[in-house]
Chains A and B, each alone.
Chain A
Amino acid sequence: MRQTLIGALVAALVCIGFFVIEERFDDDDAPAARAEGVAGSRAPISLRYTAEPAEDSWVAGSRGAGADDRVLSSAANSICFLTKIEVKGVQGPEDSGTCRVAVDEFTGFWQVTASVPEGSKSEIRCNARCLVWE
Chain B
Amino acid sequence: MSKLESLWGAAPMVLIAAALALPPAGVQAHHNSQAEFGAFGSNTIAVEGTIVNVNWANPHISIDIRTTGGELPAGQNWRLVSHPVQIMNEYGFVREEFNVGDRVKLLGWKNVRGAPQIWPRAIQVNDGPMKSNLRFTDMIDIAKGVFESMHIQPAANLNGSPPARAGEETVAKLKEMGLIDEKGLMIWPPR
Contact = CB atoms under 8 A, between A and B. Distances in A.
A63 B24 CA distance: 27
A54 B35 contact: yes
Contacts of B77: 106-108
B36 interface: yes
Contacts of B79: 71, 106-107
A72 B24 CA distance: 16
A82 B1 CA distance: 32
A59 B23 contact: no
Contact of B57 (A28, A66, A71): A66
B116 A107 contact: yes
Given A56-B28, A66-B57, A81-B21, A109 B116 contact: yes
B151 interface: no
B58 interface: yes
Interface in B12-29: 17, 20-24, 26-29
The number of chain B residues touching the other chain, given as a range, is 20 to 34
A53 B36 contact: yes
A4 interface: no
18 contacts: A52-B23, A52-B24, A53-B36, A54-B27, A54-B35, A55-B35, A55-B36, A56-B30, A64-B59, A65-B58, A71-B113, A72-B115, A73-B114, A81-B17, A83-B20, A83-B21, A83-B22, A108-B77
Interface of B: 1, 17, 20-24, 26-32, 35-36, 52-53, 57-60, 64, 77-79, 111, 113-117
